[in-house]
Copies of this chain bind each other. A is one copy, B any other.
Amino acid sequence: MTMPPFNPSRRQLLAMIGQVAGAAAMYQAMTSLGFAGESGYTGEPDLQGPREGRRVLILGAGIAGMAAAYEMRRAGYEVKILEYQDRQGGRCLTIRGGDRYTEMGGHEIACDFEGDGYLNPGPWRLPVHHRAVMDYCRKLGVPIHPFIIKNNKAFLHSANAFDGRPQRIGHVEKDMRGHVSELLAKSLHQGALDDAVSAEDREKLLEGLRGWGVLDSDFSYSVSDDLGGVRGWDIRPGGGLMADRKPSQPVDLSPLLQSGLWEQLFGFNSYSFEPPMFEPVGGMDRIADAFAREVSDIVQLNARVTRIAQGEDGVTVTYEDGGRGGTVQEESADWCICTIPLSVLVQLDVDCSDAMQKAIAAVPYASAFKVALEFRRRFWEQDEGIYGGISYTDLPLVQIAYPSYGFLSDGPAVVQGAYDTATGGRTFTYSWSTMTPQERIDAALALGRRIHPQYDAEFMSGTSWVWHRVDWSLGCYGQWTEELRDAHYKTLCEIDNRLVLAGEHCSHIPAWLEGSLLSALDAIKRLDQRENA
Contact = CB atoms under 8 A, between A and B. Distances in A.
Interface in A433-457: 434-435, 439, 442-443, 446-447, 449-450, 453-454
Interface centre among A30, A201, A490, A520 (most CB of B within 10 A): A30
A344 interface: no
Contacts of A168: 33
Interface string A231-243: 1111111111111
Interface in A168-212: 168, 170, 174, 176, 180-181, 183-184, 186-187, 190, 192-193, 196-198, 201, 204-205, 208-209, 211-212
A508 B196 contact: no
Given A26-B450, A197-B253, A431-B9, A241 B522 contact: yes
Contacts of A14: 435, 439, 443
A74 interface: no
Contact of A7 (B2, B192, B430, B507): B430
A5 interface: yes
Contact of A431 (B12, B33, B232, B238): B12
A212 B266 contact: yes
Interface string A257-288: 11000110110011110111010000000000
Given A8-B396, A27-B165, A137-B408, A254 B198 contact: yes
Given A17-B447, A153-B128, A6 B388 contact: no
A3 B395 contact: yes
B269 A212 contact: yes
A151 interface: yes
Given A10-B431, A14-B439, A187-B193, A507 B25 contact: no
Nearest to A38: B236
A241 B447 contact: no
A337 to B, nearest CB: 11
B170 A40 contact: no
Count identical subunits in the complex.
2
B278 A275 contact: no
A131 B494 CA distance: 57
A518 B238 contact: yes
A201 B1 contact: no
B387 A237 contact: no
Nearest to A165: B27
A330 interface: no
B493 A241 contact: yes
B166 A275 contact: no
Contacts of A520: 239
B493 A8 contact: no
B446 A21 contact: yes
A40 B180 contact: no
A326 interface: no
A232 B35 CA distance: 10
A389 interface: yes
A35 B270 CA distance: 28
A404 interface: yes
A457 to B, nearest CB: 11
Given A238-B508, A240-B518, 7 more contacts: A13-B443, A30-B383, A208-B257, A214-B269, A237-B509, A241-B494, A275-B389
12 contacts: A7-B427, A8-B431, A10-B435, A18-B446, A34-B248, A35-B385, A129-B153, A170-B274, A229-B271, A237-B507, A239-B514, A240-B518
- 10 closest A-B pairs by beta carbon, nearest first, are A239-B518, A240-B522, A40-B238, A237-B508, A239-B519, A192-B192, A21-B446, A26-B164, A239-B507, A187-B187
